[in-house]
Amino acid sequence: MEPFLLRRRALAACTATVAVGVLALAGLTGSASADPAPRPTGPTAVSTDQLSPGLLKAMRRDLGLTAAEARGGIGHESRAAAVAAGLKRALGADFAGARVSGDDAALTVATTDAADATRIGRAGAKAVVVAHSRAELDTAKAALDRVALRKAPEGIPAWYVDVATNRVVVQAARASAADAFLAAADVPHALVTVRESREEPRTFTDLRGGDAYYMNGLGRCSIGFPVKRGSSQSGFVSAGHCGTPGVGTSGYDQQAQGSFQGSVFPGRDYSWVATNTNWTPRALVNGYGNGDVPVTGSTEALEGSSVCRPGSTTGWHCGTVQQRNTSVTYQEGTVSGVTRTNVCAEPGDSGGSFISGSQAQGITSGGSGNCTQGGTTYFQPVNPALQAYGLTLVTNGTPTDPPTDPTDPPTDPGGGWAAGTFCNAGDRVTYGGVAYRCLQAHSAMAGWEPPNVPALWERG
C-alpha cells in the first residue's frame, strides 16, 4: 500500500479504512476542560508518578505494560536519552546513533572508533562499533531527499536511516524503482538496504492537544500542541497538509477559532494557527475521558522508546519509535525528516500530538493501515516547527523554548549546576547552596534541577 495522509473531510462518515490519514488536535476554550490537579512539580520525563490514566491505559492495551511497568519504562527511556545526548556531543564525528531496547530501556550507542567503547561503557551504555557514522548516513539520505523534493519517487513509500543496521533503508515496491532512485541521487548501494514494501502512506486530516478543529468547511484535523508567539499571541501547531496561510479554523464546538499563519507541505508537514482571545492554550493533551496528559517539555525520544498519540477519530494508541529522520512519499509529494512508528491512526487524527511520557514529540502526519489491523504512522517532530516560526511550546501553563544540544561539560565538576552541562556518575555539584552527587550520567536540562529528580541526584 502507498502512504497516505490522514485528513478527514468535513461531514464524512467515520468508516473503517485500510489507509491512515493526518491527525490534528483542537484547542481548548477556557471552559472546555479544567486543569489537572495536582500538576506535577518535577519533570515527568523522569518523575512519572502522575502520568495520565488514559496514557497508561493505552500503553497497557497496545504495549502490554502494567502501570508500574509503563512508569518505569518511561523513566528509563528519559534517562537514556539524556545520556545519549551527552555521548553524541562527546564522540563528535564518530557518533553513529543510539537506541534503547528491553524493559529497562538498555542504551546502545554506536561509534565508528573502537577507542570510544570505554567512554561509552563508563556512561552506562553498550558500545557497538560500526562502519558508517550517523553523519555519513544522514548525508546519503539527504541526497535522496533532494531528488524526491524535485519529483516524488514512484514506488518508494519511505526511506530512513536505521540505527540498528547502520544503513539507509529504502522501502520499494520493486527493485528497479529503488535502483533508479539511488542512481538519481548518486548514493552507493553499499550504504543502502532495499526492503520490499507495499505500504501506501497518506496524511490524516479531520488548544488542547488531541481536540478536533475544522478548516473553513474543508475538513477536520487535530491540534498538535498549544504554543505562544511572543508574549501575547496564542495558537497551536498542527500538520502542514491541514491548511494553507489564510485558511480560517473553527474549534471542536464549531466556534470561530483563528487562521493558519504558516504552513509547509510537502517537503515537511507542519503548520501553525494563531487563535483569537476566546481560546486559552493549556499545557495538556486530551485524555479522552481518562484524564488529560500534562506536557512538560519536548525532549526527543530515542529509537526504541515508547510513544503514544491521541486523535479526534481513534482516541489513544501507543507503540514505539522505529526510525527518526525518515522520508515518506504521499500522493501529494515527499515529506522528509519525519519519525516512523508502529502506532496506528486513521483519517481525522492528522496533526495530533505524539508524546512520550510528558515530553512532546511531534505532529501526526500520515501512514498506512488502521487501528483494527494495525499500521505505520509518521509524525513530524515538533521542535523544527517551533523553530521555523519562532514559537514556544506551552508547558505547565508557561511557554518554554525547545531544548538545544548540550554544551561542553563544566570545567569544574564540583561547581554549580547548570542546564546543558553533562555530568558523569559520581560528579558533585552545588544547587541552591546544597551539595548533590550525580547518580546517573546525563545531560542537565531545565526542569531536571537536583531537588526535582531524586533518580538522578542525591544530596550530600
Tell me if 334 sits within 8 A of 327, measured CB to CB.
Answer: yes
**299 three-state secondary structure:** coil
Residue 24: HSE in the Cβ half-sphere, 13 Å Cα cutoff: 39
Distance from first CA to last CA of the chain, Å, rounded?
58
Determine the Cα–Cα distance for residues 149 and 259; give it in Å rounded to an integer. 27
Peptide bond before 38: cis, by omega within 30 degrees of 0?
yes
Q: What angle do CA 339, 342, 343 make, to 5 degrees?
A: 95
- For residue 412, give the C-alpha cell: 569544574
- Cβ-in-10-Å burial (0-12, 13-18, 19+) of 374 comes to middle
Amino acid of residue 278: N
Tell me if 222 sits within 8 A of 26, measured CB to CB.
Answer: yes
Tell me if 316 sits within 8 A of 57, measured CB to CB.
Answer: yes
Q: What DSSP state is assigned to residue 29? A: B
* Catalytically annotated residues: 241, 269, 350
Using alpha carbons, list the distances in angstroms from residue 278 to 251, 258, 398. 11, 10, 18
Determine the Cα–Cα distance for residues 393 and 399; give it in Å rounded to an integer. 5
The secondary structure of 279-321 as a DSSP string is B---SEE--TTS-PEE--B-PPPPBT-EEEE--TTT--EEEEE
**121 three-state secondary structure:** helix
Query: Among 326, 330, 336, 285, which Cα is nearest to 303's?
Result: 326
